[in-house]
Copies of this chain bind each other. A is one copy, B any other.
Amino acid sequence: MTPVAKRKMERRKTFNDYIARKQLKSTKQRDTIFNEFFNNYMGKHVTVEELYEDIKQNHPSIGFATVYRTLKLFKESGIASERNFGDGKARYEPIRSETEHHHHMICTECGQIVEFANMQIESCLHQVAKLNEFGVANYKLEIYGKCSKCSEG
């Protein structure tokens, strides 16, 4: 099994566990959205609209509201992250591992998103939180500017 496939399976299990714990139900629609999301959007940051349009190609009967609800469910169950890059639309990305954290540089010119991680920032951040007796649930670091392509010339 490829690493990507393994990752998908792990998220699937997390999701199934969540479904069971909360006494929710497995449905065709949730399966479809799960597969589309984890097959085609790993490492991407997709809007609800984009995912809906994509899914509609092969599953025209799936409703817009269901895609909204399901992505929210993915977030609640811990298999997806919601991102907001300042254009007023929520974006979702599949979570790669339970522990991994990464941040984003957003090009305000072309929209390109570059991901990065930095241990030192991570530890500074927790240090600051500890100093203020602040219990960290999550955090985000976003850098806005121009990517290398857009700032050359």
Q: Are B125 and A121 in contact (CB under 8 A)?
A: yes
Q: Are B151 and A144 in contact (CB under 8 A)?
A: no
* Number of chain A residues whose Cβ lies closer than 8 Å to a Cβ of chain B: 32
Within the complex, the shortest CB–CB distance from A19 to chain B, in Å, comes to 25
Asked if A142 is at the interface of the complex by the 8 Å CB criterion, the answer is yes
Q: Are A129 and B141 in contact (CB under 8 A)?
A: no
Asked if A120 is at the interface of the complex by the 8 Å CB criterion, the answer is yes
Q: Which of A114-136 contact B (CB under 8 A)?
A: 114, 116, 118, 120-121, 124-125, 128-129, 132-136
In the bound complex, CA of A147 to CA of B107 (Å): 33
A121's nearest neighbour on chain B, judged by CB, is: B124
In the bound complex, CA of A141 to CA of B143 (Å): 9
Asked if A140 is at the interface of the complex by the 8 Å CB criterion, the answer is yes
* Residue ranges of A at the interface with B (Cβ–Cβ < 8 Å): 84, 86, 105, 107-108, 114, 116, 118, 120-121, 124-125, 128-129, 132-148, 151
CB-CB nearest 7 A-B residue pairs: A133-B148, A137-B145, A135-B146, A139-B143, A135-B151, A136-B145, A135-B145
